[in-house]
Amino acid sequence: MFIDSHCHLNFPELKAQLPQLLDAMAQARVSQAVCISTMVEEFPQVKALADAHPQLFATVGVHPDTEEMQEPTLEGLVAEAHHPKVVAIGETGLDYYRLNGRSIADMEWQRERFRIHIRAARQTGKPLVIHTRSSAEDTLRLMREEGASEPGGVLHCFTETMDVAKAALDLDFHISFSGIVTFKNAADLREVAKVVPLDRILIETDSPYLAPVPYRGKTNQPAYVPYVAALIAELRGMPVEAFAEHCTANTRRLFRLPAAA
């Protein structure tokens, strides 16, 4: 049994084929999936997915790359987080990969937005789903400054170094691996996936992006998360089923998901 801890089923390319995707999930024994918000404007769609399907859950938050859209407020995040199927705050975090000519100093708005999400997580007791790209040092610093360990959470789609993984684990965070771990050029990441403690590891698709091998380059979907599990299980010399049970238990515990129907 598998859980996809991070996907974007409301994105148009997936939403258009939702019944088929849910069937494929069931066939692949992916029992649950967490649908992640990236902007205030799309939250009603993400919430509607979770409301309509017992195996889907939602998060509320605004992605660091989201610009020129509605800015989240602490009050707004807290209010939406009380919905029973909203299991986490995010995805939030920092992304300095596309600065578009700006300096890191110019990205204060992103750091302020991230702080608001951590405060919302602390107020509601819901865990954080954190995205970090080209910004690990500041991400960890803000997590420490704002007390992110208290609600806890996950660094999703992890692509950072062993040292960053260790720092996140020291902050009581979980680490989630996506299909990137199956890519040929991800040898360093595979070393990290080998050693993250079994009680802190999650798997995800981040679909529609980042389809794992053998679907690399195609549209990703939650039914492909077993390929991520299979690769990491092999690295660790474990049967896939046994490894997946750890990931499933960790995801359920972190997001307080009910047992699958």
CB 234 → Zn ion: shortest distance, Å?
A: 25
The answer to the question of residue 117 lying near Zn ion (CB under 5 A) is no
- For residues 100 and 72, what is the distance between their CA atoms, to the nearest angstrom? 22
The answer to the question of residue 246 lying near Zn ion (CB under 5 A) is no
Instruction: Tell me the pairing of strands 153-155 and 128-133.
Output: parallel
Write the single-letter amino acid at 58.
A
CB 58 → Zn ion: shortest distance, Å?
A: 13
The answer to the question of residue 131 lying near Zn ion (CB under 5 A) is yes
CB 49 → Zn ion: shortest distance, Å?
A: 15
CB 153 → Zn ion: shortest distance, Å?
A: 13
Total residues contacting Zn ion (rule CB under 5 A)?
4
Beta strand segments in the chain, E: 2-7, 30-35, 56-60, 86-95, 128-133, 153-155, 174-177, 201-203
Nearer to Zn ion, 181 or 233 (CB): 181
Name the segment binding Zn ion (CB under 5 A); options: 30-38, 104-112, 185-193, 233-241: 30-38
Name the segment binding Zn ion (CB under 5 A); options: 42-50, 64-72, 90-98, 216-224: 90-98
Nearer to Zn ion, 138 or 233 (CB): 138
Site for Zn ion in 190-229 (CB under 5 A): 206
Name the segment binding Zn ion (CB under 5 A); options: 32-40, 99-107, 232-240, 247-255: 32-40
CA angle 126, 131, 137 (to 5 degrees): 110
CA distances from 148 to 152, 161, 204, 223 (A): 6, 20, 21, 31
Residues that bind Zn ion (CB under 5 A): 36, 91, 131, 206
